[in-house]
Structure 1
Amino acid sequence: MMTHAEHTLLSLWDMYGTWAKESMKPLHSSNQYLLEEFFFIILGGYGISYEQNLSGLQVFKDKGLIQKELYSSEQVTEVTEKAIRRELNVRQFEPKTKAGEFRKYRFVQSKPRVITRAGHWLWCECNWDLYTGLNDKEPLEARNWLHECPGFGMKSASWFLRNTGFCDDFAVFDVHVLRFLERIGVSVPKRLNDKTYLQLEEILREICYKIGATLGALDYLLWCLGRNGFLSYVR
Protein backbone atom coordinates (compact mmCIF):
# COMPACT_ATOMS: atom_id res chain seq x y z
CA MET A 1 0.00 0.00 0.00
CA MET A 2 1.30 3.42 -0.96
CA THR A 3 2.00 6.11 1.60
CA HIS A 4 0.36 9.51 1.20
CA ALA A 5 3.67 10.96 0.02
CA GLU A 6 4.13 8.24 -2.60
CA HIS A 7 0.55 8.64 -3.85
CA THR A 8 0.90 12.43 -4.09
CA LEU A 9 4.20 12.29 -5.94
CA LEU A 10 2.88 9.59 -8.28
CA SER A 11 -0.09 11.80 -9.17
CA LEU A 12 2.19 14.73 -9.95
CA TRP A 13 4.52 12.51 -11.95
CA ASP A 14 1.64 11.05 -13.98
CA MET A 15 0.47 14.57 -14.84
CA TYR A 16 3.79 16.32 -15.47
CA GLY A 17 6.52 13.68 -15.57
CA THR A 18 6.82 13.58 -19.35
CA TRP A 19 7.20 17.35 -19.46
CA ALA A 20 9.83 17.23 -16.70
CA LYS A 21 11.90 14.59 -18.49
CA GLU A 22 11.73 16.46 -21.78
CA SER A 23 12.73 19.70 -20.03
CA MET A 24 15.86 18.20 -18.47
CA LYS A 25 18.97 19.56 -20.12
CA PRO A 26 21.16 17.20 -22.18
CA LEU A 27 24.85 16.77 -21.44
CA HIS A 28 26.72 19.94 -22.36
CA SER A 29 30.20 19.58 -23.82
CA SER A 30 30.74 23.33 -24.14
CA ASN A 31 33.22 24.38 -21.49
CA GLN A 32 31.99 27.97 -21.71
CA TYR A 33 28.46 26.83 -20.88
CA LEU A 34 29.77 24.86 -17.90
CA LEU A 35 31.71 27.87 -16.65
CA GLU A 36 28.64 30.08 -16.88
CA GLU A 37 26.59 27.53 -14.95
CA PHE A 38 29.39 27.35 -12.38
CA PHE A 39 29.33 31.12 -11.86
CA PHE A 40 25.55 31.16 -11.84
CA ILE A 41 25.62 28.80 -8.87
CA ILE A 42 28.37 30.72 -7.06
CA LEU A 43 26.41 33.95 -7.54
CA GLY A 44 23.31 32.34 -6.05
CA GLY A 45 22.51 30.87 -2.69
CA TYR A 46 20.27 31.47 0.29
CA GLY A 47 18.52 34.85 0.18
CA ILE A 48 19.19 35.49 -3.51
CA SER A 49 16.22 35.15 -5.84
CA TYR A 50 16.42 33.22 -9.09
CA GLU A 51 15.79 36.47 -11.01
CA GLN A 52 18.63 38.31 -9.29
CA ASN A 53 20.86 35.28 -9.78
CA LEU A 54 20.23 35.36 -13.55
CA SER A 55 20.76 39.10 -13.63
CA GLY A 56 24.06 38.69 -11.78
CA LEU A 57 25.31 36.16 -14.30
CA GLN A 58 24.41 38.46 -17.18
CA VAL A 59 26.37 41.32 -15.61
CA PHE A 60 29.37 39.03 -15.12
CA LYS A 61 29.22 38.04 -18.79
CA ASP A 62 28.80 41.63 -19.96
CA LYS A 63 31.65 42.91 -17.78
CA GLY A 64 34.07 40.13 -18.73
CA LEU A 65 34.32 38.72 -15.22
CA ILE A 66 34.24 35.08 -16.34
CA GLN A 67 37.85 34.86 -17.48
CA LYS A 68 40.39 32.53 -15.93
CA GLU A 69 43.16 35.14 -15.93
CA LEU A 70 41.22 37.06 -13.28
CA TYR A 71 41.54 34.14 -10.86
CA SER A 72 45.02 32.84 -11.65
CA SER A 73 46.71 33.68 -8.33
CA GLU A 74 45.87 34.94 -4.87
CA GLN A 75 47.38 38.32 -5.72
CA VAL A 76 45.29 38.65 -8.88
CA THR A 77 42.11 37.54 -7.12
CA GLU A 78 42.51 40.35 -4.59
CA VAL A 79 42.20 42.84 -7.44
CA THR A 80 39.34 40.85 -8.98
CA GLU A 81 37.52 40.74 -5.66
CA LYS A 82 37.54 44.53 -5.46
CA ALA A 83 36.30 44.82 -9.05
CA ILE A 84 33.45 42.39 -8.37
CA ARG A 85 32.50 44.23 -5.19
CA ARG A 86 32.26 47.50 -7.14
CA GLU A 87 29.98 45.88 -9.71
CA LEU A 88 27.74 44.25 -7.11
CA ASN A 89 27.37 47.60 -5.38
CA VAL A 90 25.93 49.23 -8.50
CA ARG A 91 22.16 49.38 -8.93
CA GLN A 92 22.00 47.29 -12.10
CA PHE A 93 20.32 44.05 -11.07
CA GLU A 94 16.87 42.57 -11.55
CA PRO A 95 14.25 42.20 -10.25
CA LYS A 96 13.42 45.87 -10.12
CA THR A 97 11.92 47.40 -7.00
CA LYS A 98 8.26 48.42 -6.78
CA ALA A 99 9.44 51.88 -7.76
CA GLY A 100 10.88 50.46 -10.98
CA GLU A 101 14.53 50.83 -9.97
CA PHE A 102 17.31 48.32 -10.39
CA ARG A 103 18.83 46.84 -7.23
CA LYS A 104 22.27 46.34 -5.79
CA TYR A 105 23.30 42.72 -5.43
CA ARG A 106 22.82 41.05 -2.07
CA PHE A 107 25.72 40.24 0.26
CA VAL A 108 28.02 42.70 -1.45
CA GLN A 109 30.68 42.32 1.24
CA SER A 110 30.92 38.53 1.44
CA LYS A 111 29.88 37.34 -2.02
CA PRO A 112 32.93 38.69 -3.95
CA ARG A 113 35.29 36.75 -1.70
CA VAL A 114 33.38 33.51 -2.23
CA ILE A 115 33.36 34.05 -6.00
CA THR A 116 37.08 34.73 -6.27
CA ARG A 117 37.98 31.79 -4.05
CA ALA A 118 35.83 29.53 -6.23
CA GLY A 119 37.39 30.89 -9.41
CA HIS A 120 40.89 30.33 -8.04
CA TRP A 121 39.95 26.80 -6.93
CA LEU A 122 38.85 26.12 -10.49
CA TRP A 123 42.19 27.37 -11.79
CA CYS A 124 44.15 25.16 -9.40
CA GLU A 125 42.02 22.04 -9.89
CA CYS A 126 41.49 21.88 -13.65
CA ASN A 127 42.85 25.08 -15.23
CA TRP A 128 39.24 26.09 -15.89
CA ASP A 129 38.65 23.04 -18.08
CA LEU A 130 35.51 21.91 -16.28
CA TYR A 131 34.38 19.51 -18.97
CA THR A 132 37.57 17.45 -18.78
CA GLY A 133 37.65 17.76 -15.00
CA LEU A 134 34.18 16.24 -14.76
CA ASN A 135 34.14 13.86 -17.69
CA ASP A 136 36.71 11.47 -16.22
CA LYS A 137 34.80 11.13 -12.93
CA GLU A 138 31.87 8.99 -11.86
CA PRO A 139 28.84 11.04 -10.69
CA LEU A 140 29.45 10.57 -6.96
CA GLU A 141 33.13 11.37 -7.38
CA ALA A 142 32.23 14.46 -9.41
CA ARG A 143 29.82 15.67 -6.75
CA ASN A 144 32.36 15.16 -3.98
CA TRP A 145 34.95 17.01 -6.06
CA LEU A 146 32.68 20.00 -6.62
CA HIS A 147 31.72 19.92 -2.95
CA GLU A 148 35.33 20.80 -2.16
CA CYS A 149 35.01 24.09 -4.05
CA PRO A 150 34.48 27.19 -1.88
CA GLY A 151 30.81 28.16 -2.02
CA PHE A 152 29.65 24.73 -3.21
CA GLY A 153 27.59 22.69 -0.79
CA MET A 154 25.92 19.37 -1.48
CA LYS A 155 22.93 21.17 -2.98
CA SER A 156 25.05 23.34 -5.29
CA ALA A 157 27.14 20.41 -6.51
CA SER A 158 23.99 18.36 -7.20
CA TRP A 159 22.36 21.31 -8.94
CA PHE A 160 25.35 21.84 -11.22
CA LEU A 161 25.59 18.18 -12.25
CA ARG A 162 21.86 17.94 -12.92
CA ASN A 163 21.57 21.20 -14.84
CA THR A 164 24.55 20.41 -17.06
CA GLY A 165 23.35 16.89 -17.85
CA PHE A 166 26.13 15.01 -16.06
CA CYS A 167 23.79 13.18 -13.68
CA ASP A 168 20.00 12.91 -13.25
CA ASP A 169 20.12 10.85 -10.05
CA PHE A 170 20.77 13.64 -7.55
CA ALA A 171 18.29 15.82 -5.66
CA VAL A 172 18.52 19.59 -5.30
CA PHE A 173 16.65 20.38 -2.11
CA ASP A 174 15.26 23.86 -2.58
CA VAL A 175 13.44 25.27 0.44
CA HIS A 176 10.08 25.07 -1.36
CA VAL A 177 10.68 21.41 -2.15
CA LEU A 178 11.65 20.66 1.45
CA ARG A 179 8.52 22.32 2.82
CA PHE A 180 6.34 20.43 0.39
CA LEU A 181 7.93 17.07 1.15
CA GLU A 182 7.44 17.64 4.86
CA ARG A 183 3.81 18.65 4.33
CA ILE A 184 2.98 15.43 2.47
CA GLY A 185 4.54 13.26 5.15
CA VAL A 186 8.21 12.82 4.27
CA SER A 187 10.47 13.06 7.31
CA VAL A 188 12.62 16.13 6.61
CA PRO A 189 15.50 16.94 9.00
CA LYS A 190 15.40 20.34 10.69
CA ARG A 191 18.92 20.99 9.41
CA LEU A 192 20.52 19.56 6.31
CA ASN A 193 24.17 18.68 6.70
CA ASP A 194 25.98 16.32 4.34
CA LYS A 195 24.80 13.24 6.22
CA THR A 196 21.13 14.20 6.48
CA TYR A 197 21.13 15.50 2.89
CA LEU A 198 22.21 12.09 1.62
CA GLN A 199 19.70 10.32 3.86
CA LEU A 200 16.81 12.45 2.58
CA GLU A 201 18.02 12.02 -0.98
CA GLU A 202 17.96 8.24 -0.57
CA ILE A 203 14.40 8.38 0.80
CA LEU A 204 13.27 10.33 -2.26
CA ARG A 205 15.26 8.03 -4.55
CA GLU A 206 13.40 5.01 -3.14
CA ILE A 207 10.06 6.74 -3.68
CA CYS A 208 11.08 7.49 -7.26
CA TYR A 209 11.88 3.83 -7.82
CA LYS A 210 8.42 2.84 -6.57
CA ILE A 211 6.54 5.31 -8.76
CA GLY A 212 8.70 4.92 -11.87
CA ALA A 213 10.25 8.38 -11.79
CA THR A 214 13.83 9.55 -12.09
CA LEU A 215 15.13 11.45 -9.08
CA GLY A 216 16.55 14.41 -10.95
CA ALA A 217 13.45 14.91 -13.08
CA LEU A 218 11.04 14.61 -10.13
CA ASP A 219 13.09 17.05 -8.08
CA TYR A 220 13.22 19.46 -11.03
CA LEU A 221 9.44 19.13 -11.44
CA LEU A 222 8.86 19.95 -7.76
CA TRP A 223 11.16 22.97 -8.04
CA CYS A 224 9.24 24.29 -11.06
CA LEU A 225 5.87 23.73 -9.39
CA GLY A 226 7.16 25.33 -6.19
CA ARG A 227 8.39 28.45 -7.97
CA ASN A 228 4.98 29.18 -9.49
CA GLY A 229 3.13 28.48 -6.24
CA PHE A 230 1.38 25.34 -7.46
CA LEU A 231 2.66 23.13 -4.63
CA SER A 232 0.80 25.29 -2.11
CA TYR A 233 -2.45 23.82 -3.43
CA VAL A 234 -1.33 20.18 -3.36
CA ARG A 235 -2.34 18.21 -0.29
Structure 2
Amino acid sequence: MQRACVMLANAQVSIELPAQDAEILPGVHWGRVDAFPTPAYWAYQVIARRIESQTIRYKLGTTLREEIGACLLGGHGIPASIGLAAFEHLKQKGAFAGDPPDEQNLRQWLSEPMLSGGRQVRYRFAAQKARYLAAALLKVARESAPSAGRLLRDWMISVPGIGYKTASWIARNWLDADDVAILDIHILRAGVLAGFLDSELTVERHYLQLEQQFLDFSQAMDVKPSELDAVIWLEMARSRATVESILRELPESSFKRRHAPSRPSVDASKPHAHQLSLLR
Protein backbone atom coordinates (compact mmCIF):
# COMPACT_ATOMS: atom_id res chain seq x y z
CA MET A 1 0.00 0.00 0.00
CA GLN A 2 1.17 3.55 -0.71
CA ARG A 3 -0.24 6.75 0.69
CA ALA A 4 -0.60 10.31 -0.55
CA CYS A 5 -2.50 13.29 0.75
CA VAL A 6 -4.48 16.27 -0.48
CA MET A 7 -3.93 19.51 1.40
CA LEU A 8 -7.03 21.64 1.89
CA ALA A 9 -7.33 25.00 3.59
CA ASN A 10 -8.18 23.55 7.00
CA ALA A 11 -7.69 19.83 6.58
CA GLN A 12 -5.53 17.07 5.14
CA VAL A 13 -7.13 14.13 3.34
CA SER A 14 -5.17 10.87 3.11
CA ILE A 15 -5.42 8.68 0.01
CA GLU A 16 -4.44 5.01 -0.05
CA LEU A 17 -3.50 3.31 -3.32
CA PRO A 18 -2.21 -0.19 -4.12
CA ALA A 19 1.52 -0.91 -3.82
CA GLN A 20 3.60 0.31 -6.74
CA ASP A 21 4.48 -3.24 -7.86
CA ALA A 22 0.82 -4.42 -7.75
CA GLU A 23 -0.84 -4.95 -11.12
CA ILE A 24 -3.78 -2.81 -12.18
CA LEU A 25 -4.03 -4.86 -15.39
CA PRO A 26 -2.04 -7.93 -16.45
CA GLY A 27 1.52 -6.72 -16.98
CA VAL A 28 0.68 -3.12 -15.98
CA HIS A 29 1.86 -2.01 -12.53
CA TRP A 30 0.41 0.82 -10.48
CA GLY A 31 3.82 2.47 -10.12
CA ARG A 32 4.70 5.21 -7.68
CA VAL A 33 2.01 7.77 -6.94
CA ASP A 34 4.54 10.60 -7.21
CA ALA A 35 6.01 9.41 -10.52
CA PHE A 36 4.49 11.09 -13.57
CA PRO A 37 2.78 9.49 -15.51
CA THR A 38 2.12 6.15 -13.77
CA PRO A 39 -1.37 4.67 -13.23
CA ALA A 40 -1.07 5.59 -9.53
CA TYR A 41 -0.28 9.17 -10.51
CA TRP A 42 -3.44 9.36 -12.64
CA ALA A 43 -5.57 7.81 -9.90
CA TYR A 44 -4.29 10.40 -7.44
CA GLN A 45 -4.99 13.28 -9.84
CA VAL A 46 -8.60 12.17 -10.35
CA ILE A 47 -9.24 11.64 -6.62
CA ALA A 48 -7.54 14.90 -5.64
CA ARG A 49 -9.74 16.91 -7.99
CA ARG A 50 -12.83 15.25 -6.55
CA ILE A 51 -11.77 16.11 -3.00
CA GLU A 52 -10.97 19.70 -3.97
CA SER A 53 -14.30 19.98 -5.83
CA GLN A 54 -12.32 21.12 -8.85
CA THR A 55 -13.97 20.11 -12.11
CA ILE A 56 -12.71 20.22 -15.67
CA ARG A 57 -15.30 21.78 -17.94
CA TYR A 58 -15.33 20.06 -21.29
CA LYS A 59 -18.79 20.78 -22.73
CA LEU A 60 -18.41 23.60 -25.26
CA GLY A 61 -21.94 24.14 -26.61
CA THR A 62 -25.48 24.49 -25.28
CA THR A 63 -27.05 22.39 -28.06
CA LEU A 64 -25.91 19.35 -30.02
CA ARG A 65 -25.48 21.53 -33.09
CA GLU A 66 -23.17 23.85 -31.18
CA GLU A 67 -21.21 20.95 -29.72
CA ILE A 68 -20.67 19.48 -33.17
CA GLY A 69 -19.55 22.88 -34.44
CA ALA A 70 -17.10 23.46 -31.59
CA CYS A 71 -15.52 20.02 -31.90
CA LEU A 72 -15.40 19.97 -35.69
CA LEU A 73 -13.80 23.43 -35.88
CA GLY A 74 -11.08 22.47 -33.39
CA GLY A 75 -8.48 19.72 -33.28
CA HIS A 76 -6.28 18.38 -36.09
CA GLY A 77 -3.53 20.94 -35.54
CA ILE A 78 -5.85 23.95 -35.19
CA PRO A 79 -4.86 26.03 -32.13
CA ALA A 80 -7.54 25.96 -29.43
CA SER A 81 -7.91 29.74 -29.48
CA ILE A 82 -8.54 29.75 -33.25
CA GLY A 83 -11.05 26.92 -33.04
CA LEU A 84 -12.97 28.69 -30.29
CA ALA A 85 -12.85 31.98 -32.20
CA ALA A 86 -14.30 30.27 -35.29
CA PHE A 87 -17.01 28.63 -33.20
CA GLU A 88 -18.02 31.93 -31.58
CA HIS A 89 -17.93 33.68 -34.97
CA LEU A 90 -20.31 31.16 -36.53
CA LYS A 91 -22.51 31.23 -33.45
CA GLN A 92 -22.91 34.99 -33.82
CA LYS A 93 -23.88 34.45 -37.47
CA GLY A 94 -26.67 32.11 -36.36
CA ALA A 95 -25.09 29.00 -37.88
CA PHE A 96 -26.36 26.73 -35.11
CA ALA A 97 -29.94 28.02 -34.85
CA GLY A 98 -32.89 27.67 -37.23
CA ASP A 99 -32.42 26.08 -40.64
CA PRO A 100 -28.89 24.76 -41.19
CA PRO A 101 -26.75 27.08 -43.34
CA ASP A 102 -25.41 25.81 -46.65
CA GLU A 103 -21.74 25.15 -47.39
CA GLN A 104 -21.31 28.44 -49.28
CA ASN A 105 -22.46 30.58 -46.35
CA LEU A 106 -20.33 28.64 -43.89
CA ARG A 107 -17.28 29.01 -46.13
CA GLN A 108 -17.87 32.75 -46.46
CA TRP A 109 -18.25 33.19 -42.69
CA LEU A 110 -15.16 31.09 -41.92
CA SER A 111 -13.14 33.10 -44.45
CA GLU A 112 -13.87 36.37 -42.64
CA PRO A 113 -11.39 37.84 -40.13
CA MET A 114 -12.36 36.98 -36.55
CA LEU A 115 -11.25 38.13 -33.13
CA SER A 116 -9.11 35.97 -30.86
CA GLY A 117 -7.33 37.35 -27.82
CA GLY A 118 -7.94 40.93 -28.90
CA ARG A 119 -6.47 40.49 -32.39
CA GLN A 120 -7.80 39.55 -35.79
CA VAL A 121 -7.04 36.03 -37.00
CA ARG A 122 -7.87 33.89 -40.03
CA TYR A 123 -9.22 30.35 -40.03
CA ARG A 124 -6.97 28.25 -42.26
CA PHE A 125 -9.32 25.49 -43.40
CA ALA A 126 -12.46 27.44 -44.26
CA ALA A 127 -13.47 25.51 -47.39
CA GLN A 128 -12.81 22.05 -45.95
CA LYS A 129 -14.48 22.62 -42.60
CA ALA A 130 -17.44 24.42 -44.21
CA ARG A 131 -18.11 21.29 -46.28
CA TYR A 132 -17.90 18.98 -43.26
CA LEU A 133 -19.93 21.24 -40.98
CA ALA A 134 -22.68 21.77 -43.57
CA ALA A 135 -23.10 17.99 -43.89
CA ALA A 136 -23.12 17.50 -40.11
CA LEU A 137 -25.69 20.23 -39.42
CA LEU A 138 -27.92 18.94 -42.21
CA LYS A 139 -27.80 15.43 -40.74
CA VAL A 140 -28.83 16.73 -37.29
CA ALA A 141 -31.69 18.70 -38.85
CA ARG A 142 -33.02 15.77 -40.88
CA GLU A 143 -32.49 12.85 -38.51
CA SER A 144 -33.07 12.10 -34.85
CA ALA A 145 -29.75 11.89 -33.04
CA PRO A 146 -29.22 8.93 -30.67
CA SER A 147 -29.16 9.76 -26.97
CA ALA A 148 -26.55 7.18 -25.95
CA GLY A 149 -22.80 7.76 -26.16
CA ARG A 150 -21.47 5.09 -28.51
CA LEU A 151 -24.64 5.17 -30.61
CA LEU A 152 -24.23 8.92 -31.09
CA ARG A 153 -20.54 8.45 -31.92
CA ASP A 154 -21.27 5.77 -34.51
CA TRP A 155 -24.09 7.91 -35.95
CA MET A 156 -21.73 10.86 -36.38
CA ILE A 157 -18.96 9.01 -38.22
CA SER A 158 -21.13 8.75 -41.33
CA VAL A 159 -20.54 12.50 -41.84
CA PRO A 160 -17.63 13.33 -44.19
CA GLY A 161 -14.66 14.66 -42.23
CA ILE A 162 -15.77 13.21 -38.88
CA GLY A 163 -13.79 10.19 -37.76
CA TYR A 164 -13.78 8.17 -34.56
CA LYS A 165 -11.86 10.75 -32.54
CA THR A 166 -14.02 13.77 -33.38
CA ALA A 167 -17.24 11.75 -33.12
CA SER A 168 -16.15 10.38 -29.73
CA TRP A 169 -15.28 13.90 -28.60
CA ILE A 170 -18.77 15.09 -29.51
CA ALA A 171 -20.41 12.14 -27.71
CA ARG A 172 -18.29 12.58 -24.57
CA ASN A 173 -18.91 16.31 -24.40
CA TRP A 174 -22.62 16.28 -25.15
CA LEU A 175 -23.71 13.16 -23.27
CA ASP A 176 -20.89 12.70 -20.72
CA ALA A 177 -20.42 9.41 -22.54
CA ASP A 178 -18.38 6.77 -20.73
CA ASP A 179 -18.43 4.12 -23.46
CA VAL A 180 -16.11 5.98 -25.86
CA ALA A 181 -12.55 7.31 -25.72
CA ILE A 182 -11.04 10.39 -27.39
CA LEU A 183 -7.69 9.06 -28.58
CA ASP A 184 -5.60 12.11 -29.38
CA ILE A 185 -1.82 12.45 -29.07
CA HIS A 186 -1.94 13.27 -25.34
CA ILE A 187 -4.01 10.21 -24.41
CA LEU A 188 -1.90 7.97 -26.65
CA ARG A 189 1.35 9.17 -25.12
CA ALA A 190 0.00 8.80 -21.58
CA GLY A 191 -1.27 5.30 -22.31
CA VAL A 192 1.99 4.10 -23.80
CA LEU A 193 4.12 5.63 -21.04
CA ALA A 194 1.91 4.13 -18.31
CA GLY A 195 1.70 0.80 -20.16
CA PHE A 196 -2.05 0.50 -20.61
CA LEU A 197 -2.08 1.20 -24.38
CA ASP A 198 -0.30 -0.98 -26.92
CA SER A 199 2.48 1.10 -28.48
CA GLU A 200 2.37 -0.91 -31.71
CA LEU A 201 -1.26 -0.03 -32.47
CA THR A 202 -2.29 3.14 -34.33
CA VAL A 203 -5.51 5.15 -34.18
CA GLU A 204 -5.72 5.09 -37.96
CA ARG A 205 -5.95 1.27 -38.07
CA HIS A 206 -6.80 0.14 -34.54
CA TYR A 207 -8.97 2.86 -32.97
CA LEU A 208 -11.54 0.49 -31.46
CA GLN A 209 -8.86 -1.78 -29.97
CA LEU A 210 -7.09 1.15 -28.34
CA GLU A 211 -10.42 2.53 -27.16
CA GLN A 212 -11.23 -0.75 -25.41
CA GLN A 213 -7.82 -0.74 -23.74
CA PHE A 214 -8.51 2.74 -22.38
CA LEU A 215 -11.97 1.72 -21.15
CA ASP A 216 -10.54 -1.40 -19.50
CA PHE A 217 -7.93 0.75 -17.74
CA SER A 218 -10.60 3.16 -16.48
CA GLN A 219 -12.70 0.27 -15.19
CA ALA A 220 -9.70 -1.28 -13.42
CA MET A 221 -9.00 2.08 -11.75
CA ASP A 222 -12.74 2.40 -10.92
CA VAL A 223 -13.10 5.89 -12.40
CA LYS A 224 -15.30 7.24 -15.19
CA PRO A 225 -13.54 7.20 -18.58
CA SER A 226 -14.79 10.72 -19.31
CA GLU A 227 -13.32 11.95 -16.03
CA LEU A 228 -10.00 10.16 -16.52
CA ASP A 229 -9.71 11.35 -20.12
CA ALA A 230 -10.20 14.99 -19.09
CA VAL A 231 -7.61 14.76 -16.32
CA ILE A 232 -5.01 13.02 -18.48
CA TRP A 233 -5.55 15.41 -21.39
CA LEU A 234 -5.11 18.49 -19.23
CA GLU A 235 -2.01 17.24 -17.40
CA MET A 236 -0.32 15.98 -20.57
CA ALA A 237 -1.13 19.14 -22.55
CA ARG A 238 0.23 21.30 -19.73
CA SER A 239 3.44 19.28 -19.29
CA ARG A 240 4.65 18.96 -22.86
CA ALA A 241 8.36 19.51 -22.22
CA THR A 242 8.37 16.88 -19.48
CA VAL A 243 6.47 14.41 -21.66
CA GLU A 244 8.75 15.01 -24.63
CA SER A 245 11.83 14.53 -22.45
CA ILE A 246 10.48 11.17 -21.26
CA LEU A 247 9.69 10.14 -24.82
CA ARG A 248 13.24 10.86 -25.95
CA GLU A 249 14.55 8.45 -23.32
CA LEU A 250 12.42 5.56 -24.61
CA PRO A 251 14.08 2.76 -26.58
CA GLU A 252 13.66 3.11 -30.32
CA SER A 253 10.23 1.89 -31.43
CA SER A 254 7.59 2.55 -34.07
CA PHE A 255 5.62 4.58 -31.50
CA LYS A 256 8.63 6.77 -30.72
CA ARG A 257 9.25 7.37 -34.41
CA ARG A 258 5.60 8.38 -34.86
CA HIS A 259 5.15 10.55 -31.77
CA ALA A 260 8.41 11.63 -30.14
CA PRO A 261 9.42 15.24 -30.94
CA SER A 262 12.62 15.99 -32.81
CA ARG A 263 13.52 19.06 -30.75
CA PRO A 264 12.68 20.49 -27.30
CA SER A 265 9.62 22.67 -26.78
CA VAL A 266 8.77 25.24 -24.14
CA ASP A 267 6.98 23.67 -21.19
CA ALA A 268 3.51 25.18 -20.68
CA SER A 269 2.99 23.39 -17.36
CA LYS A 270 0.48 25.02 -15.03
CA PRO A 271 -0.38 22.39 -12.38
CA HIS A 272 -3.95 22.26 -11.07
CA ALA A 273 -5.42 24.58 -13.71
CA HIS A 274 -8.68 22.69 -13.51
CA GLN A 275 -11.26 25.18 -14.81
CA LEU A 276 -10.35 24.91 -18.49
CA SER A 277 -12.25 24.02 -21.62
CA LEU A 278 -10.77 21.04 -23.44
CA LEU A 279 -10.56 22.09 -27.08
CA ARG A 280 -8.31 19.37 -28.41
TM-score tier, shorter chain, comes to: 0.7 to 0.9
Aligned to 1:228: 238
Q: State the alpha-carbon separation in 2 of the partners of residues 110 and 32 from structure 1.
A: 24
Aligned to 1:109, the other structure's residue is in SS state helix
**For residues 54-85 of structure 1, what are the alpha-carbon distances to aligned partners after superposition, in whole Å with 9 as ceiling and x for unaligned?**
111111111112234234xxxxx2xxx22222
Q: How far is 1:10 from its partner?
A: 2.4
Query: 1:134 corresponds to which letter in structure 2?
Result: P
Instruction: Considering Cα pairs closer than 8 Å and 6+ residues apart, tell me whether 1 or 2 has the greater RCO.
Output: 1
Cα distance change of structure 1 residues 6 and 162 upon mapping to structure 2, 3 Å threshold:
farther
1:122 aligns with 2:140: yes
1:162 aligns with 2:194: no
Contact 1:26 1:164 in 2 (8 A): no
Aligned to 2:198: 187
Q: State the alpha-carbon separation in 1 of the partners of residues 79 and 45 from structure 2.
A: 27
Aligned to 2:255: none
Alignment of 1:1-235 (within 5 A): 1-2=22-23, 3=27, 6-7=30-31, 8-19=38-49, 23=55, 32-71=62-101, 77=102, 81-94=103-116, 101-126=119-144, 133-135=145-147, 138-185=148-195, 186-189=197-200, 191-193=202-204, 196-229=206-239, 232=242
Q: Which structure has more strand as a fraction of its residues?
A: 2
| TM norm structure 1 | 0.76
Q: How far is 1:198 from its partner?
A: 1.2
Contact 2:64 2:174 in 1 (8 A): yes
Q: State the alpha-carbon separation in 1 of the partners of residues 241 and 189 from structure 2.
A: 10
Q: Which structure has more helix as a fraction of its residues?
A: 1
Contact 1:17 1:218 in 2 (8 A): no
Query: 1:139 corresponds to which letter in structure 2?
Result: G
Q: State the alpha-carbon separation in 1 of the partners of residues 80 and 218 from structure 2.
A: 26
Q: State the alpha-carbon separation in 1 of the partners of residues 107 and 130 from structure 2.
A: 6
Q: What is the percent sequence identity of the aligned residues?
A: 24
**For residues 61-117 of structure 1, what are the alpha-carbon distances to aligned partners after superposition, in whole Å with 9 as ceiling and x for unaligned?**
11112234234xxxxx2xxx2222222222214257xxxx42100212312111111
Matched pairs, number? 212
Query: 1:218 corresponds to which letter in structure 2?
Result: L
Q: State the alpha-carbon separation in 1 of the partners of residues 194 and 172 from structure 2.
A: 25
Cα distance change of structure 1 residues 156 and 149 upon mapping to structure 2, 3 Å threshold:
same
Q: State the alpha-carbon separation in 1 of the partners of residues 212 and 115 from structure 2.
A: 37
- Gap regions ≥5 residues in structure 1: 72-76, 127-132
**Greater C-alpha Rg:** 2
Q: State the alpha-carbon separation in 1 of the partners of residues 47 and 165 from structure 2.
A: 22
Contact 1:225 1:231 in 2 (8 A): no
Aligned to 1:66, the other structure's residue is in SS state coil
For the aligned residues, what is the CA RMSD?
Answer: 3.0
- Gap regions ≥5 residues in structure 2: 1-21, 32-37, 247-280
Q: State the alpha-carbon separation in 1 of the partners of residues 75 and 45 from structure 2.
A: 30
Q: State the alpha-carbon separation in 2 of the partners of residues 4 and 48 from structure 1.
A: 34
Contact 1:91 1:103 in 2 (8 A): yes
